[in-house]
């Protein structure tokens, strides 16, 4: 019985992953009330070390790709209050606000899903009695249970019976969780609804009916965040499942992010998919995108799905690395607010530096690549895709401007080589692809900047995938691609120009030795420049000489060695208020210092 259950449950997650990102997804309507920033994480509590439930596959092999830490194993079970308690404490260390237990409401799964939820509640109450503030509890509604409860047949949720089934599992869940533990937005408990792939039919009345019944019983309505596969209905938000594999997604005010994906150990998946974690870089880039977006509610995929290796919880493989990293990423995200900013900007590159302006996506007609051009990382549309891509889509932070007629100055840095041209199309008052006057190259062989003065910007996210503007190389007309660097969008006419930082090459540093890399930057206005290390490991530091030059100093120890290169981000800022800047991100690989190498052969 358990084995059958297990096979079904992993198949459920596999199905969810098939909602690929290939097709542009229309942006959802924003929540009418802008909430505080909230982070939730999917909590898988189906594990039981005592019976090997979810630890061992039907063929007796290891069911997990990643594993709980050895020190956690002895009581790693949904039945143990102490296990839930420890996980909650770890979530607090990661700065997570909401735990989303993955709830299976079908009668066959209740033996663990109900028991485990009761133990989670007990652990919360114990922590609160001890003076802690553990994460509040939201519902991750696993819709696989709807099909299971309907005899394995996807139910029709437009019928009275289907509606009762849909509402019933929600009511069961919230009846088990005391109201003071509910995670709420505007006084309404949060429900993340898994994919629509397990139901035959539904419509708005499915949701309206559930809200009415919920109101009658609990005195409020559920705050439903549906997976994007639920189409043609309105809920309080929408999210995308699969981000641990495909990369972050922001839909309206809801963002989702994950650390990577590896289903190698999952039973019955002969061709496993893997998203390498790149030692945390994939996760960090995801949070970079979230931090520059308008998301106020973020779901992390996942806390502890060890089968598919999407875990950020403590693990044998990663220790507490992802707990610490999550806390850092969340703090950075909370600190970002562009509502009062004079300008937002973006430095395109392998690792874009996004400050309120970000690449909206990188696929479909907006696929783009990066190559070094004249001292900068240059982004350009990838016309080798089929059909060719001619665009780089950008998204403006909604706190800065969203769906408001606005006057802005858009400055685009481009490489001026050749005699062709390029275009800017923006979401304007009169249409989502309003064309700005074309830019003609002068073939100077240098990076230049062009400022568009737009009096009718709107930035309503009405371009593909919620983008607000796009750069076009006009290749379809002039046969020449174009290369782009930084983009600034300002509320007032720019009176200051950003400095230029000469990007150092990727470097190798030897353990036990000091490596020094010269840095230099210049400002077109002659402003003084500050050189800083924006992001990097503890063994790296920047010495700023105060004259636009400096040194990147690398002094790694043996304990710093890891399988991937480190990613370091350098910033050169002028000293105006507000300051403008240039970013350069380089990779540093550590080499072991071979002690015997320098011996001279006689
Ligand atoms: Ca926007
Ligand atoms: Ca062109
Ligand atoms: Ca300047």
**CATH superfamily membership of 500-591:** Immunoglobulins (2.60.40.10)
**CB–CB of 486/413 below 8 Å?**
yes
Distance 341 CA to ligand 1 centre (A): 15
Output the pLDDT for position 594: 57
Q: At what angle do helices 204-218 and 160-176 cross, to 10 degrees?
A: 40
How much is the pLDDT for 19?
31
Give the tens place of pLDDT for each residue, 528-553: 999 999 989 999 999 999 999 999 99
Q: Worst-scoring range by mean pLDDT, 68-72, 161-165, 390-394, 396-400?
A: 396-400
Distance in angstroms (rounded) separating the CA atoms of residues 54 and 56:
6
CATH topology for 38-142+175-196+221-227+234-335 is: TIM Barrel (3.20.20)
| Ligand of minimum distance to the alpha carbon of 398 | 1
Residue 24 has pLDDT above 50, yes or no: no
Distance of alpha carbon 268 from alpha carbon 201, whole angstroms: 28
pLDDT for residue 239: 97
Judge if the upstream peptide bond of residue 578 is cis by omega within 30 degrees of 0: yes
Position 404 pLDDT exceeds 90: yes
pLDDT of 18 higher than 80: no
pLDDT in tens, 516-532: 999 999 999 999 999 99
| Lowest pLDDT segment from 18-32, 352-366, 370-384, 477-491 | 18-32
Q: Residue 420 and residue 413: Cα distance in Å, rounded?
A: 16
Ligand 1 center from residue 255 Cα (angstroms) = 13
Question: Can you name the residues that pair with 223 across neighbouring β-strands?
Answer: 190
Give distance in angstroms: CA of 497 to centre of ligand 3.
Answer: 4
Ligand sitting nearest the alpha carbon of 293: 1
Exposure letters 539-553 (e unless 16+ CB within 10 A, then b): bbebebeeebbbbbb
Do the Cβ atoms of 345 and 395 come closer than 8 Å?
A: no
Instruction: In whole angstroms, give the CA distance from residue 125 to residue 129.
Output: 6
What does the pLDDT average to over 31-40? Answer: 68
**Please, are residues 378 and 516 in contact by the beta-carbon 8 Å criterion?**
no
142: how many CB neighbours lie within 10 A of its CB? Answer: 27
Residue 425 CA to ligand 1 center (angstroms) comes to: 14
**CA neighbours closer than 13 Å in the CB half-sphere of residue 85:** 13
Task: Report whether 372 contacts 427 (CB < 8 A).
Answer: no
pLDDT class of 593 with cuts at 50, 70, 90: low
Q: Give the distance (Å) from ligand 2 centre to CA of residue 419.
A: 8
Quick check: 233 and 207 in contact, CB under 8 A?
A: yes
What is the whole-number distance in angstroms between the Cα of residue 243 and the centre of ligand 1?
20
pLDDT in tens, 132-182: 999 999 999 999 999 999 999 999 999 999 999 999 999 999 999 999 999
Q: Residue 441 CA to chain centroid, in angstroms?
A: 36
Give residue 588's pLDDT: 96
Distance 90 CA to ligand 3 centre (A): 44
Dist. CA 67 → ligand 1 center (Å): 39
- Residue 115 pLDDT class (50, 70, 90 cuts): very high
Say which residue the tokens 């700023």 belong to.
544
Nearest 5 degrees, angle CA 47-CA 279-CA 503? 155
> Which ligand has the nearest atom to the CA of 416?
2
Cα torsion through 274, 276, 280, 281, rounded to 10: -120
Cα(58) to centroid of ligand 2, in Å? 57
Q: What is the distance in A from the centroid of ligand 3 to the CA of 398?
A: 27
Contact in structure between 102 and 44 (CB atoms under 8 Å)? yes
With 70 as the cut, is the pLDDT of residue 79 above it? yes
Question: Which of 154-158, 352-356, 591-595 shows the lowest mean pLDDT across its residues?
Answer: 591-595
Higher per-residue pLDDT: 22 or 146: 146
Distance from residue 529's CA to the centre of ligand 3 (Å): 8
Measured from the alpha carbon of residue 498, the closest ligand is 3
DSSP character for 77? B
Q: Which of 459, 283, 463, 437 is nearest to 361 (CA)?
A: 463
Distance CA 122, CA 155 (A): 33
**What class has domain 343-490?**
mainly beta
The ligand minimizing its distance to the Cα of 459 is 1
20 has pLDDT over 70: no
d(CA 322, CA 424): 39
> How far apart, in whole angstroms, are the C-alpha atoms of residue 319 and residue 90?
12
Residue 15, pLDDT above cutoff 90: no
CA of 312 to the centre of ligand 2 (A): 44
> Residue 522 CA: which ligand is closest?
3
Beta partners for residue 356, in sequence order: 345
The ligand placed nearest to the CA atom of residue 395 is 1
- What is the pTM (predicted TM-score) of this model? 0.80
> Picking from 3-7, 456-460, 487-491, which range would have the lowest pLDDT averaged per residue?
3-7
Asked if residues 142 and 39 have their Cβ atoms less than 8 Å apart, the reply is no
Least distant ligand from the CA of 439: 2
Is pLDDT at 582 greater than 60 in this prediction?
yes
- How much distance in Å is there from the Cα of 3 to the middle of ligand 1? 46
Residue 420 CA: which ligand is closest? 2
- What pLDDT band is residue 70 in, cutting at 50, 70 and 90? very high
Inter-CA distances, 185 with 224, 300, 412, Å: 10, 17, 39
331 C-alpha to ligand 3 centroid (Å) = 29
Nearest ligand to the CA of 525 is: 3
How many Å apart are CA 115 and CA 123, to the nearest integer? Answer: 12
Residue with tokens 């707990």: 323
208-261 confidence digits (pLDDT tens):
999 999 999 999 999 999 999 999 999 999 999 999 999 999 998 999 999 999
- Looking at the CA of 576, name the nearest ligand: 3
Distance 486 CA to ligand 1 centre (A): 18
Judged by DSSP in three states, 63 sits in coil
Distance 569 CA to ligand 3 centre (A): 20
Residue 536 C-alpha to ligand 2 middle, in angstroms? 36
CA of 413 to the centre of ligand 3 (A): 15
Distance (angstroms) between ligand 3 centre and the Cα of 423 equals 26
Q: What's the pLDDT score for residue 32?
A: 32
For 267-288, the pLDDT digits (tens) are 888 899 999 999 999 999 999 8
- DSSP character for 599? P
* DSSP annotation of 197: G
Each domain of the chain, given as residue ranges in start order, spans 38-142+175-196+221-227+234-335, 343-490, 500-591
Cα separations (Å) of 314 from 90, 94, 310, 431, 601? 8, 10, 12, 49, 49
Q: Can you give the pLDDT at residue 35?
A: 59
Q: How would you classify the pairing of strands 237-239 and 223-227?
A: parallel
> Dihedral through CA 381, CA 383, CA 388, CA 393, nearest 10?
0
556-575: pLDDT as tens digits: 999 999 889 999 999 999 98
Nearest ligand, CA 495: 3
Q: Which residue has tokens 């429900």?
A: 191
- φ and ψ at residue 370, rounded to 5 degrees: -130, 140
**Which pLDDT does position 269 carry in this prediction?**
86
Residue 460 CA to ligand 1 center (angstroms) comes to: 6
Average pLDDT over residues 405-429: 98
**Ligand nearest, relative to CA of residue 463:** 1
- Give 595's contacts (C-beta < 8 A, 6+ positions apart): none
CA of 314 to the centre of ligand 2 (A): 50
319's tokens: 């220790």
Q: Which ligand is nearest to the CA of 573?
A: 3
pLDDT tier for residue 375 given thresholds of 50, 70 and 90: confident
Ligand 3 geometric centre to CA of 575 (Å): 8
41 φ, ψ (degrees, to nearest 5): -140, 135
Q: Taking 70 as the threshold, does the pLDDT of residue 34 lie above it?
A: no
Distance 74 CA to ligand 1 centre (A): 48
């Amino acid at each position: 019985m358990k084995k059958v259950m297990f096979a079904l449950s992993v198949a459920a997650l596999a199905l969810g992953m098939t909602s690929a990102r290939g097709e542009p997804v229309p942006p959802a309507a924003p929540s009418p009330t802008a909430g505080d920033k909230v982070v939730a994480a999917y909590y898988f509590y189906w594990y039981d070390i005592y019976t090997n439930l979810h630890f061992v596959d039907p063929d007796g092999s290891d069911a997990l790709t990643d594993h709980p830490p050895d020190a956690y194993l002895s009581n790693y079970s949904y039945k143990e209050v102490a296990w839930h308690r420890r996980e909650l404490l770890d979530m607090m260390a990661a700065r997570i606000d909401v735990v989303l237990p993955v709830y299976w409401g079908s009668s066959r799964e209740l033996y663990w899903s109900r028991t485990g939820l009761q133990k989670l509640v007990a652990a919360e109450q114990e922590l609160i009695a001890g003076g802690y503030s553990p994460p509040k509890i939201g519902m991750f509604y696993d819709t696989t249970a709807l099909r299971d409860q309907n005899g394995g047949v996807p139910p029709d949720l437009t019928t009275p019976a289907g509606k009762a089934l849909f509402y019933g599992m929600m009511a069961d869940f919230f009846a088990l969780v005391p109201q003071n533990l509910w995670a709420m937005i505007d006084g309404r408990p949060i429900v993340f609804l898994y994919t629509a792939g397990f139901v035959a039919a539904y419509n708005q009345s499915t949701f309206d009916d559930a809200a009415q019944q919920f109101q009658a019983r609990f005195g409020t309505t559920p705050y439903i965040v549906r997976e994007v596969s639920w189409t043609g209905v309105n809920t309080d938000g929408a999210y995308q499942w699969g981000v641990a594999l495909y990369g972050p997604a922001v839909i309206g005010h809801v963002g989702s992010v994950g650390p990577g994906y590896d289903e190698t150990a999952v039973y019955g998946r002969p061709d496993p998919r893997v998203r390498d974690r790149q030692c945390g870089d994939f996760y960090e880039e995801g949070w970079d995108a979230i931090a520059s977006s308008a998301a106020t509610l973020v779901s992390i995929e996942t806390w502890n799905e060890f089968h598919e290796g999407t875990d950020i919880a403590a693990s044998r493989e990663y220790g507490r690395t992802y707990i610490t990293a999550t806390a850092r990423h969340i703090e950075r995200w909370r600190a970002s607010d562009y509502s009062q900013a004079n300008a937002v900007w973006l430095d395109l590159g392998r690792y874009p530096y996004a400050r309120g302006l970000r690449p909206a996506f990188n696929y479909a007609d907006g696929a783009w690549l990066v190559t070094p051009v004249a001292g900068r990382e240059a982004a350009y549309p990838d016309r080798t895709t089929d059909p060719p891509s001619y665009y780089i889509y950008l998204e403006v932070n909604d706190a800065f401007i969203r769906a408001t007629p606005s006057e802005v100055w858009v400055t685009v840095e481009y490489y001026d080589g050749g005699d062709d041209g390029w275009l800017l199309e923006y979401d304007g008052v009169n249409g989502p692809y309003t064309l700005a006057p074309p830019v003609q190259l002068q073939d100077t062989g240098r990076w230049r900047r062009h400022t568009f003065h737009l009096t009718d910007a709107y930035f309503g996210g009405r371009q593909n995938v919620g983008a607000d503007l796009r750069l076009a190389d006009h290749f379809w007309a002039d046969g020449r691609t174009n290369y782009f660097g930084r983009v600034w969008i300002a509320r007032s006419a720019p009176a200051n120009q950003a400095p230029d930082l000469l990007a150092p090459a990727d470097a190798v540093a030897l353990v036990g030795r000091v490596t020094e890399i010269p840095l230099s930057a210049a400002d077109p206005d002659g402003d003084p420049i500050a050189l800083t290390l924006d992001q990097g490991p503890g063994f790296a530091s920047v010495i700023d000489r105060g004259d636009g030059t400096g040194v990147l100093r690398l002094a790694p120890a043996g304990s710093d060695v890891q399988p991937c290169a480190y990613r370091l981000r350098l910033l050169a800022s002028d000293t105006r208020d507000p300051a403008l800047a240039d970013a350069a991100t380089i990779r540093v690989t550590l080499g072991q210092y071979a002690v015997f190498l320098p011996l001279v052969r006689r």
